[in-house]
C-alpha cells in the first residue's frame, strides 16, 4: 500500500504503540518500563488533616514498589501503591454525623522527586478508597490504592522520592444506602514537621543527556542578540515587546489611571508536568522563557472607605523555549516505544496580574497566563525499529492553554518571583502523521481530549540588565529552597536594647530574647513559605534614661506570629546569607501606667524583626535601626513618640544550624 492509506490488522499492534506519545505543553504519557530489580517502600508518616470541625493528627503508611536502580532516559515506574490511613476515634465527628455508617471516595498524594537537587512535584491522583464501615468504637482505618504515573529520569545520582500533601474526597452513606454528604467531604493532610518523609532512594547511573533547545520556528534556537548579563549569553531570544492580540486583555475599572514604567527584559527557568486523561499518565516539561515585564501598568491607590485596598494591573509577555523531550514507555503493557516531541509556542503568551495596590492587603493578586502552542512528533521507534511518522506529524490546530497563579497560595506565584501556575488544556486532533500509512485517526482517538490538567513551576526571573545578580541569579535556576535539617528551631540572644526615638536617651533594655518555630524540610520549598514562627519573646526588660521611671517593662508580641520572607532580600549566592523576617501585627510595650504599641515602620500593620542568617552557620544577627513607630501611647511621658528601633546589632545563637540552598550550592 502506498501513500497515506488505511491501517491493516497486521500493522495495528505495531503502530498503535505511538498513540500515547503526544500531549500539549509537555503532556507525554507516563507509562514506564521495567528497570530490572525492584525495591519496596513501606514508610509510616505522621500527618495533620484539616477536617472541617478541627485539625486531626492521623497515621499514614505508604507502600509502593520502585526500581532498584534507574537509567537516564528511562522513566521510573511505580507499582502497587497502597496507602493506609488511621484516623483516631475522637476525630470522626465529621464522618459520623447524620447517621452515616459507611464512607468511600478517592485520594491523591503529592510526591516530590528530587534529582541532582532539582525537585519535581508529581501528583499521584485517582487512588480509590473502597467503601468502609464506620467503627462503633476505635479508630477508622481507610485504605487507598491505584495506578500512578511514571516519572522521567533525567539526571545522574540519587533520585529521592518523598511524600507530601495528601488530599481526600469522601462520601458518606446511612444504613439504607442514601448519601448523607451530597457535596462530599474534601480535606487535605500535610506531613508533620520534623520527620523524614523519604519513601525511597533510587541510584541513577550514566552520563546526563544534553538537552536540545527548540526555537519558535523549530530547530535549534538562534543566537541571542541584544543586551547581556555580565557578557553571559543566558537568555533565549526576546520577542517583540507587545501584547498578543489573540488573547483579550481586561480593561481596568473606571478611575484607574495608566502608570507607565520602562519594561524589564528577563528570562526564567520553567519546569512542570501534566496529565493525559485518556492515558492516565503524566510527564515532565522543562525549558526557559524570555519574559518582558511591565509592558503596561495601571494603578489606583487605596482610598478608604469605598476602596481600602486600591487596584493594580500589570501586563507581561513571555515566549517559552522548551527542550525537545525523548520518552521511553510501554504500550499494551509490553511494547517499548520511544519518540521525540517538539513543543513550539505560537506567538507570545500574555500574563495579566490583577490585585490590590496595597502591599499588605489580604486580597490576592491573580496572574492569568494565556498561550498557544503546536506539538510535533519525530524519531519514533517501536521495539527499536524506526517508524516514519513524517516531518509534519503535529496537532491540526493550535493548543490553547490558560494557567493561573495566586500570590497568597502555597506555593504562591508572582511573575518576577516565580512560583506555581496551573490550569487545563484541550488536546486537538492530529494531522500529517504517517508516510506509508495514515496515523491521524489513531492518534486522535487515543490522545485527543478535553480538560488535561497542567501544572508549571517558574523560577524567579533573571534580568538582562542585572538588578542584583546574587539574588536574581543568572542563568535562571530552579524554583524553591532546600532546607537542611529543617524542623524545630530556637534562636536566643543576650542583651537587646530598644530606643524610643532615634538619637534619644529613651531606651528599654531586655536581658535576653528568643525566637522559636519550625522550618520546613526538603527541597522545592516556596521562598515565601519557609516555615512558621511560634513565639518571639523579650525577657527581663527595664526602662532606662528618660524611661527609667517605668521600672520593669513588658515587651510582647501579639498573635498571629509568622515567619515571613522578602524575596528581594533573599539568599545572596555570594555570601550565603539569608534574610528572614518574623512578623506580628505589633509589639505591646507596658511599664507602670505607660502603654503603647510598636507598629511597623511607616505605620504599616506589620512589625518586622529581620534576621541575617549565614548559610550553615551557628549564629545570626538582627541588624540595628528603625523597626517601627510608637502608636496609641497612654499614661506615658509626652516624649514617648516617634520611631522605635534596635540600638545595636544583636547576635543570636541557634540550637540547630540550618543550611539554605537556592537552586544548588551558593557560589
Mean pLDDT by 10 residues, the chain (667 residues): 31 28 28 54 90 86 91 84 93 85 90 72 85 90 89 82 87 88 80 79 66 32 32 68 92 84 84 66 74 88 69 92 61 53 86 84 89 82 75 88 88 86 88 84 74 84 67 65 87 92 82 92 76 89 90 86 63 70 85 89 62 76 79 88 87 85 53
> CB neighbours (10 Å) of residue 203?
12
The end-to-end CA distance of the chain, in Å, is 61
Torsion sign across C-alpha atoms 507, 508, 511, 515: negative
Helix (H) or strand (E) holding 505: none
619/631 Cα distance (integer angstroms): 32
Q: Could you check whether the bond before residue 305 is cis, i.e. omega within 30 degrees of 0? A: yes
Across the chain, how many H-helices and E-strands are there?
3, 43
User: What does the pLDDT read at residue 133?
Assistant: 92
- DSSP calls for 277-338: TTTTEEEEEEEEEEEEEEEEEEEE--BTTTBTT-EEEEEEEEEEEEBPEEEEEEETTTEEEE
CA 150 to chain centre: 20
DSSP 3-state assignment of 463?
strand
User: What does the pLDDT read at residue 463?
Assistant: 79
Residue 542 exposed, middle or buried by CB count within 10 Å (0-12, 13-18, 19+): middle
287/322 Cα distance (integer angstroms): 4
Residue 546 exposed, middle or buried by CB count within 10 Å (0-12, 13-18, 19+): middle
Quickly tell me which residue has 502555597 as its cell: 410
Q: Is the pTM of this model over 0.75?
A: no
> CB neighbours (10 Å) of residue 466?
16
User: What does the pLDDT read at residue 574?
Assistant: 65
User: What does the pLDDT read at residue 405?
Assistant: 93
* b (16+ CB within 10 A) / e for 76-98: bbbeebebebebeeebbebbbee
Q: For the chain, what is the radius of gyration of the CA atoms?
A: 28
User: What does the pLDDT read at residue 382?
Assistant: 65
Amino acid at each position: 500500500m502506498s501513500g497515506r492509506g488505511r491501517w491493516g490488522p497486521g500493522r495495528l499492534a505495531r503502530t498503535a504503540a505511538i498513540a500515547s506519545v503526544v500531549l500539549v505543553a509537555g503532556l507525554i504519557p507516563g507509562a514506564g518500563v521495567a528497570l530490572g530489580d525492584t525495591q519496596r517502600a513501606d514508610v509510616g508518616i505522621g500527618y495533620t488533616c484539616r477536617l472541617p470541625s478541627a485539625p486531626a493528627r492521623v497515621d499514614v503508611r505508604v507502600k509502593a514498589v520502585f526500581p532498584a536502580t534507574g537509567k537516564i532516559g528511562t522513566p521510573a515506574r511505580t507499582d502497587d501503591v497502597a496507602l493506609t490511613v488511621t484516623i483516631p476515634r475522637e476525630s470522626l465527628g465529621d464522618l459520623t454525623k447524620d447517621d452515616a455508617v459507611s464512607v468511600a471516595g478517592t485520594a491523591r498524594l503529592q510526591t516530590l522527586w528530587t534529582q541532582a537537587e532539582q525537585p519535581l512535584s508529581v501528583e499521584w491522583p485517582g487512588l480509590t478508597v473502597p467503601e468502609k464501615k464506620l467503627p462503633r468504637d476505635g479508630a477508622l482505618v481507610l485504605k487507598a490504592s491505584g495506578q500512578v504515573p511514571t516519572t522521567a529520569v533525567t539526571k545522574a545520582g540519587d533520585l529521592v522520592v518523598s511524600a507530601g500533601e495528601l488530599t481526600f474526597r469522601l462520601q458518606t452513606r446511612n444504613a439504607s444506602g442514601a448519601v448523607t454528604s451530597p457535596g462530599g467531604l474534601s480535606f487535605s493532610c500535610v506531613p508533620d514537621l520534623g520527620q523524614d518523609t523519604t519513601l525511597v532512594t533510587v541510584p541513577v547511573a550514566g552520563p546526563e543527556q544534553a538537552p536540545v533547545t527548540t526555537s519558535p520556528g523549530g530547530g535549534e534556537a538562534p543566537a541571542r542578540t541584544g543586551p547581556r548579563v555580565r557578557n553571559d549569553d543566558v537568555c533565549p531570544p526576546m520577542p517583540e515587546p507587545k501584547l498578543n492580540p489573540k488573547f483579550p486583555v481586561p480593561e481596568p475599572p473606571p478611575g484607574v489611571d495608566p502608570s507607565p514604567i520602562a519594561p524589564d527584559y528577563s528570562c526564567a527557568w520553567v519546569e512542570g508536568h501534566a496529565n493525559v486523561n485518556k492515558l492516565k499518565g503524566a510527564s515532565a516539561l522543562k525549558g526557559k522563557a524570555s519574559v518582558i515585564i511591565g509592558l503596561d501598568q495601571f494603578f489606583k491607590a487605596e482610598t478608604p472607605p469605598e476602596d481600602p485596598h486600591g487596584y493594580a494591573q500589570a501586563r507581561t509577555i513571555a515566549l517559552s523555549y522548551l527542550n525537545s523531550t525523548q520518552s521511553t514507555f510501554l504500550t499494551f503493557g509490553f511494547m517499548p516505544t520511544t519518540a521525540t516531541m517538539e513543543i513550539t509556542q505560537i506567538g507570545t503568551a500574555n500574563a495579566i496580574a490583577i490585585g490590590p495596590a496595597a502591599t499588605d492587603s489580604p486580597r490576592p493578586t491573580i496572574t492569568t497566563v494565556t498561550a498557544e502552542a503546536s506539538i510535533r512528533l519525530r524519531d519514533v521507534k517501536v521495539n527499536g525499529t524506526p517508524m516514519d511518522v513524517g516531518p509534519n506529524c503535529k496537532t491540526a490546530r493550535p493548543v490553547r492553554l490558560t494557567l493561573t497563579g495566586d500570590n497568597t497560595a502555597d506555593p504562591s506565584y508572582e511573575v518576577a518571583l516565580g512560583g506555581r501556575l496551573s490550569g487545563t488544556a484541550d488536546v486537538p486532533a492530529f494531522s500529517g502523521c504517517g508516510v506509508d500509512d495514515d496515523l491521524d485517526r489513531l492518534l486522535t482517538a487515543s490522545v485527543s481530549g478535553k480538560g488535561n490538567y497542567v501544572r508549571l513551576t517558574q523560577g524567579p526571573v533573571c534580568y538582562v540588565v542585572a538588578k542584583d545578580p546574587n539574588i536574581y541569579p543568572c542563568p535562571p535556576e530552579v524554583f524553591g529552597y532546600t532546607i537542611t535539617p529543617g524542623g524545630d528551631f530556637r534562636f536566643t540572644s543576650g542583651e537587646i536594647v530598644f530606643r524610643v526615638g532615634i538619637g534619644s536617651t529613651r531606651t528599654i533594655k531586655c536581658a535576653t530574647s528568643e525566637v522559636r518555630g519550625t522550618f520546613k524540610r526538603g527541597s522545592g520549598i516556596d521562598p515565601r513559605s519557609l516555615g512558621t514562627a511560634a513565639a518571639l519573646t523579650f525577657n527581663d526588660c527595664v526602662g532606662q534614661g528618660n524611661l527609667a521611671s517605668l521600672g520593669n517593662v513588658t515587651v510582647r508580641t501579639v498573635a498571629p506570629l509568622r515567619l515571613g520572607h522578602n524575596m528581594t532580600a533573599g539568599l545572596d549566592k555570594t555570601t550565603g546569607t539569608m534574610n528572614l523576617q518574623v512578623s506580628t501585627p505589633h509589639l505591646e510595650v507596658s511599664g507602670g501606667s505607660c502603654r503603647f504599641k510598636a507598629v511597623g515602620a511607616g505605620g504599616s500593620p506589620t512589625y518586622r524583626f529581620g534576621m541575617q542568617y549565614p548559610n550553615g552557620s551557628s549564629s545570626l544577627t538582627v541588624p540595628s535601626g528603625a523597626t517601627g513607630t510608637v502608636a496609641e501611647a497612654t499614661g506615658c511621658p509626652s516624649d514617648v513618640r516617634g520611631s522605635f528601633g534596635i540600638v545595636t546589632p544583636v547576635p543570636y545563637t541557634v540550637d540547630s544550624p540550618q543550611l539554605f540552598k537556592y537552586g544548588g550550592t551558593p557560589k
